[in-house]
């Protein structure tokens, strides 16, 4: 599988503030690569550099083999870019909107006509063909904007928070649409700060915070890498004395850093061992006579991944300027 | 079989570049005009404009008729008007021509900025610029397309007035070549004024600011330049040894270029072109600007005119080649020839050059909102 997006020390500095600090990123062909990070982490700046909207201060990136620095025109032909906030033109019908962008890419009239029909079918707006763009709902406008990124059949899609401001139903529809695009062979780099949204969609992720790339790779690879520091949960059959005995047993074991008792009585072990060590721990506990109803690794979802990765304080860098005014970083703020 | 890959020649690349630019401009123009000409608004504006213009034309006609009736009433004949030299109906034709020309110039100065000053800044405000900049559409194609579509509407309004302008032919006094000159000049003014608005729109973040500064610029170039000119002229007069000594005025007078961007001086020149032998107050004003002759000239009437009475005071009795004041008229020069094209062609060239420069500059300034904003904050 070939690499479609390759960022090499990509850096953007605004007035002495590092927004993106030397990001190295690899995205393989056909991936849906999630870019995760709190507000102001540098996701939008990174995407804008890849979309040739902003020149990098240092470093370079290649999209489908073309350098964003030296060959921005070539890059523009292979990417479809959807910004996080975008506007629509007044006095313009849905088909005219797509026709305009088709003309911008220099597509001949016959191909434009065909493309408009196909894309409106794809994003489920065929019945809105003659409607004015400003009369569409937010979800429809998002889908139309996504359709506009596809007019020239690009191989790479750069989508900045495509699901922001959508209701749950529209989100599900968008997710289905992106999956369909992946089956069409598109490589998609998608940013979001809403983790469940990405979790169900992405095949690989990159976690970015304060302009730095903290982790990147396929979902399962990152999980495996983090498995050495997992949280184990054990539910003990019995009342308080049995639980206290089990807790005393676990804390005495190697690889167990600490044991907490959750309100429902479940024991939560901070475990530093790998999967095999976990199995050994369970076997010893049973041999010791503890009655264990369930013993499991706490679900290692993207959210937890993110919390774990960002819990390690990165090298101090000047705090980047927020990408846009907004509420304080919700789930990211709790980490630090 | 191996196929030889033909490298495009320099000419081929150039042609390809022009073709891409052309299709980009076409895309923007089509999009803009679709929006602008949609619905009844655009056509309602044309209708109202033509109705107003018709009423104005009729007003001029009535006004000129009254003047002629008064001027040529028994016992009220005043030869100093030069009325005796001009057929009566021609004065009506010339008056209508003058009125329409000045009105349309005013219209361009008001309308061209209004249509263009949001060209780029609105794209920024509506957050549509990023979508455009990531397409292969060149920035030059974007600004030229915006300018062309805005000017197309202005040109539509100007062209819609042609049938009204053609009324002058029924009165005479104005030739088709005068009308053609006038329209050529108006197009140049529209291009220059539109590009001023385009430039501010590309430079500034807000359309409101761009509109205000554009109108201030236009006001500065017309009224401001005139004030500067008059002041400069007065200073030159002060400095001259004799109060009305023309020799000092010819060396210290303000340069004509100060007035190039005042389209009303070009209008005066075009109106002057319709008068016979340059006997018209408009010609006097143009002559002041171009320095062909001063209204304060006390020089002897140039050699070549038989009697001083043949050349009315302050009229152009100078050689056609604009020679030094007081120089003898070359034999064979007709002192009654039409005085034409002494100023407006240079003004039109100035407007066109300004338009070209500002359009190119604007294309350099089209950058996404974030980048511009930060640069401005610095």
CB contact (8 A) between residue A48 and residue B38: no
Q: Chain B residue with minimal CA distance to A55?
A: B371
Q: Chain B residue with minimal CA distance to A95?
A: B31
Q: In chain B, which residues have their Cβ closer than 8 Å to the Cβ of A145?
A: 131
Predicted model pTM: 0.74
Inform me whether the C-beta atom of residue A109 falls under 8 Å from chain B C-beta atoms.
no
Inform me whether the C-beta atom of residue A106 falls under 8 Å from chain B C-beta atoms.
yes
CA distance A289 to A284: 9
Q: Chain A residue with minimal CA distance to B28?
A: A100
Inform me whether the C-beta atom of residue A241 falls under 8 Å from chain B C-beta atoms.
no
Beta bridge partners of A191: A35, A160
CA distance A101 to A83: 15
Inform me whether the C-beta atom of residue A130 falls under 8 Å from chain B C-beta atoms.
no
Task: Measure the CA dihedral B8/B11/B15/B16, to 10°.
Answer: 20
Return the biggest CA–CA distance within chain B. 100
- Closest chain A C-alpha to B105 CA, distance in angstroms: 29
For residue A275, the model assigns a pLDDT of 80
pLDDT-flagged residues of chain B (< 70)? 1-8, 72-87, 240-251, 276-279, 292-339, 368-378
- DSSP, res B329: P
For residue A256, the model assigns a pLDDT of 86
- Closest chain A C-alpha to B257 CA, distance in angstroms: 40
Structure tokens at B281: 């107050």
| B320-323 contacts at long range (C-beta below 8 A, 24 or more positions apart) | B322/B290, B322/B292
CB contact (8 A) between residue A48 and residue B135: no
- Name which of A51, A96, A101 is nearest B34 (Cβ-Cβ): A96
Inform me whether the C-beta atom of residue A17 falls under 8 Å from chain B C-beta atoms.
no
Inform me whether the C-beta atom of residue A108 falls under 8 Å from chain B C-beta atoms.
no
For residue A157, the model assigns a pLDDT of 93
CB contact (8 A) between residue B368 and residue A92: no
**Residue-by-residue DSSP string for A47-98:** HHHHTTSS--SEEEEEETTEETTT-HHHHHHHEEEE-SS----TT-BHHHHH
Question: Which residue in B20, B24, B134, B371 has the most chain A C-beta atoms within 10 A of its own C-beta, making it the best mutation to test that interface?
Answer: B134
Give the strands of the sheet with A292-297, arranged side by side. Answer: A256-261, A267-271, A231-236, A292-297
- Name which of A77, A85, A88 is nearest B136 (Cβ-Cβ): A77
**Residue-by-residue DSSP string for A200-247:** TT-SEEEEEETTEEEEEEEHHHHHHHHGGG-EEEEEESS-HHHHHHHH
At what angle are helices B139-160 and B176-203 packed, to 10 degrees?
Answer: 140
Hey, how many other C-beta atoms are within 10 angstroms of the C-beta on B262? 19
Q: In chain A, which residues have their Cβ closer than 8 Å to the Cβ of B131?
A: 81, 83, 86, 101, 145, 148
CB contact (8 A) between residue A54 and residue B371: yes
CB contact (8 A) between residue B23 and residue A101: no
Inform me whether the C-beta atom of residue A87 falls under 8 Å from chain B C-beta atoms.
yes
Inform me whether the C-beta atom of residue A81 falls under 8 Å from chain B C-beta atoms.
yes
For residue B368, the model assigns a pLDDT of 60
For residue A1, the model assigns a pLDDT of 65
DSSP-derived pairing of the beta strands A79-82 and A292-297 = unpaired
CA distance B117 to B107: 15
- Closest chain A C-alpha to B377 CA, distance in angstroms: 10
- Name which of B27, B130, B370 is nearest A103 (Cβ-Cβ): B27
How would you write the pLDDT of chain A (336 residues) with one tens digit per residue? 688 899 988 999 888 788 888 889 889 888 899 988 888 888 899 999 999 988 899 999 999 989 998 888 889 999 999 998 888 888 889 999 999 999 999 899 999 999 999 999 988 899 999 999 989 988 888 889 989 999 999 999 999 988 877 788 888 888 888 888 889 889 999 998 777 777 778 888 888 888 888 888 887 777 666 555 677 889 988 888 888 899 999 988 888 888 888 888 888 888 888 788 888 999 999 999 998 999 887 765 666 667 766 665 544 444 444 444 433 333 333 332
Q: In residues, how long is chain B?
A: 378
Q: In chain B, which residues have their Cβ closer than 8 Å to the Cβ of A90?
A: 35
Q: In chain A, which residues have their Cβ closer than 8 Å to the Cβ of B24?
A: 103-104, 106
CA-nearest of A238, A262, A259 to A249 is A259
- Name which of A79, A96, A148 is nearest B131 (Cβ-Cβ): A148
Contact residues, chain B to chain A, C-beta under 8 Å: 20, 23-24, 26-27, 30-31, 34-36, 38-39, 125-128, 130-137, 368, 370-371, 374, 377-378
CB contact (8 A) between residue B134 and residue A92: no
- Closest chain B C-alpha to A45 CA, distance in angstroms: 10
A vs B: CB pairs below 8 A: 82
CB contact (8 A) between residue A86 and residue B378: no
- Closest chain B C-alpha to A262 CA, distance in angstroms: 48
């Amino acid at each position: 599988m070939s690499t479609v997006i390759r960022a090499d020390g990509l850096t953007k500095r605004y007035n002495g503030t590092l927004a993106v600090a030397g990001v190295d990123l690899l995205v393989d062909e056909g991936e849906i690569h999630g870019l995760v990070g709190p507000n102001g982490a540098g996701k939008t700046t990174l995407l804008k550099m890849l979309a040739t909207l902003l020149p990098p201060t240092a470093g370079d990136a290649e999209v489908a083999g073309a350098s964003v620095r030296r060959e921005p025109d070539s890059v523009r032909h292979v990417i479809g870019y959807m910004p996080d906030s975008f506007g629509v033109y007044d006095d313009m019908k849905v088909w005219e909107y797509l026709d305009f962008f088709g003309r911008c890419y220099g597509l001949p009239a016959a191909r434009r006509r065909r493309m408009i029909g196909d894309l409106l079918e794809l994003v489920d707006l065929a019945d809105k063909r003659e409607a004015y763009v400003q009369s569409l709902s937010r979800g429809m406008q998002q889908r139309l904007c996504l359709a506009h990124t596809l007019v020239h059949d690009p191989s790479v899609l750069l989508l900045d928070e495509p699901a922001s401001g959508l209701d749950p139903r529209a989100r599900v529809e968008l997710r289905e649409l992106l999956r369909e695009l992946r089956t069409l062979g598109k490589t998609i780099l998608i940013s979001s700060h809403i983790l469940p949204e990405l979790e169900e969609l992405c095949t690989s992720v990159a976690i970015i915070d304060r302009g730095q790339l903290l982790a990147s790779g396929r979902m399962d690879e990152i999980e495996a890498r983090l498995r050495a520091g997992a949280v184990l949960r054990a539910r003990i059959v019995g009342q308080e004395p049995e639980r206290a005995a089990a807790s005393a047993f676990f804390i005495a074991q190697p690889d167990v850093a600490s044991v907490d008792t959750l309100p429902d009585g479940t024991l939560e072990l901070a475990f530093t061992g790998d999967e095999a060590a976990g199995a050994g721990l369970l076997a010893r506990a049973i041999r010791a006579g503890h009655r264990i109803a369930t013993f499991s690794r706490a679900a290692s979802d993207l959210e937890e991944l993110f919390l774990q990765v960002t819990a390690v304080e990165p090298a101090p860098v000047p705090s980047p300027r927020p990408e846009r005014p907004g509420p304080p970083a919700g789930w990211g703020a709790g980490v630090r | 079989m191996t196929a030889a890959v033909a490298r495009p020649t320099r000419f081929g690349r150039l042609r390809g570049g022009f073709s891409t630019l052309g299709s980009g401009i076409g895309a923007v123009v089509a999009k803009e005009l679709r929006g602008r000409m949609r619905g009844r608004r655009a056509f309602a504006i044309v209708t109202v404009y033509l109705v107003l213009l018709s009423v104005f034309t009729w007003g001029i006609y009535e006004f000129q008729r009254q003047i002629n009736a008064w001027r040529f009433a028994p016992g009220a004949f005043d030869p100093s008007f030069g009325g005796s030299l001009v057929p009566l109906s021609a004065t009506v034709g010339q008056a209508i021509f003058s009125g329409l020309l000045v009105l349309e110039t005013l219209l361009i100065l008001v309308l061209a900025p209004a249509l263009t000053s949001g060209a780029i800044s609105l794209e920024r405000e509506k957050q549509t610029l990023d979508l455009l900049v990531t397409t292969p559409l060149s920035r030059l194609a974007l600004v030229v397309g915006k300018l062309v579509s805005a000017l197309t509407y202005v040109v539509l309004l100007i062209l819609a007035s042609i049938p009204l302008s053609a009324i002058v032919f029924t009165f005479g006094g104005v030739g088709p070549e005068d009308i053609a000159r006038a329209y050529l000049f108006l197009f140049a003014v529209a291009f220059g004024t539109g590009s001023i608005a385009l430039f501010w729109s590309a430079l500034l973040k807000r359309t409101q600011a761009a509109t205000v500064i554009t109108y201030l610029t236009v006001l500065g170039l017309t009224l401001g330049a005139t004030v500067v000119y008059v002041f400069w002229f007065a200073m030159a007069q002060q400095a001259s040894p004799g109060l009305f000594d023309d020799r000092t005025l010819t060396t210290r007078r303000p340069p004509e270029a100060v007035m190039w961007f005042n389209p009303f001086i070009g209008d005066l020149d075009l109106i002057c072109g319709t008068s016979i032998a340059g006997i018209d107050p408009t010609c006097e004003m143009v002559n002041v600007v171009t320095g062909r002759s001063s209204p304060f000239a006390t020089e002897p009437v140039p050699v070549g005119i038989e009697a001083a009475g043949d050349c009315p005071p302050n009229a152009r009795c100078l050689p056609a080649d604009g020679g030094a004041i007081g120089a003898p008229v070359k034999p064979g020069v007709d002192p009654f020839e039409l005085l034409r094209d002494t100023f407006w062609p240079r003004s039109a060239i100035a407007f066109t050059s300004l338009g070209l420069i500002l359009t190119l500059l604007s294309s350099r300034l089209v950058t996404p909102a974030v980048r511009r904003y930060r640069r401005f904050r610095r």
